[in-house]
Amino acid sequence: MEKVTYYYKRENTAQLNKLISTPLFEEIMLHLIRNQQQELILRQLKAAIPTTENLELYLEQMISQGIIQRVNRRYYLSIPIFSQQNRLEIPASTQLFLDDLMKKSSNQDQFFGEVLWSVFFDDNTDYFFGVQTEDSSTTFVKKIEEGNEKLKFVSLHLEDTFPLSLADYFSLLSKRTALPDTFKPIEQLIGDVDIDYFITQALKVIRSSIRSKSKQMKRNIFQETFVITNDLQERADATFSLTSPILENGSLATADELDELKKILPPLWENIKDDNERIFYKKQLYSYLFHYYFPEIDFLHYLKH
């Protein structure tokens, strides 16, 4: 069954989220995608998309968001719809350079999630496009980061998956999204706890885990939460060790390495002038590298302190 997933970065993301989350959006878009070669008028859309909602008002909202356009009473798509492509290949010299950096890194997941992510995606480019697939699979890796200036939880994983991580848990809470069953063990312990309060307690757990066992704190729900998410592991002597790496303030790459990365990676996509197509390519390439370097891992997670 064909599926279209939409990707966007706009100032009014909250309005877009609300617009796209309605079933009517999917019906309108699929009809326009399937009939891109036709000049569709309102009467035809009403006949093809029966609904009790105000279709005209909804179309106006989609026009105002730049998703579709109306020209001479005809409706057209304003955003590109890309097809899922085969695995990308990158120049051998680029691959070898990345291989060398990953091998030298003391923590590969942090290097991948921080350094490479920044080279790929730290810009303010607006985009909006769809990716059409033949099944329910998705292509890209997303990064979830939740917390405050004292501590942040980071998770990188495939879209439409919900790994048992604190970053994903608090991300879903902040969006008031229904929690998948995966998170029930955490929900039963801490519920909808305020993230700032949780971080205050989490820092105590972290500090306790690196002290001598004579100073270990009593077990509590915050410590248990870290155990459930595999951020903390119990030793044979009933003490605990932190298993998730912590990124302290500092660089994961030298200035020379960063300069070299910025020389060899952007040329792979800088000649793609269309913003949507360029972001689509970068998302594909980053996901390819994720599978290449972590073939046996579904997600990465770490802490930033």
Residues 83-115 pLDDT 10s: 876 667 789 999 999 999 999 988 899 999 999
CATH number of this structure's domain 3-79: 1.10.10
For residue 200, pLDDT over 90 is answered with yes
User: How do the domains of the chain map onto residue ranges?
Assistant: 3-79, 88-126+136-305
Contacts of 200 (CB under 8 A, 6+ apart): 150
228/250: higher pLDDT: 228
Number of neighbours of residue 204 by Cβ within 10 angstroms:
14
265/139: higher pLDDT: 265
Tens of pLDDT, residue by residue over 264-304, are: 999 999 999 999 999 999 999 999 999 999 999 889 999 99
Q: Are 110 and 245 in contact (CB under 8 A)?
A: yes
In terms of pTM, does the model score above 0.85? yes
Confidence (pLDDT) at 208: 87
Number of H helices, E strands in the chain: 13, 11
Tens of pLDDT, residue by residue over 22-57, are: 889 999 999 999 998 899 999 999 999 998 889 999
**Residue type present at position 84:** Q
Mean pLDDT in residue range 68-89:
87
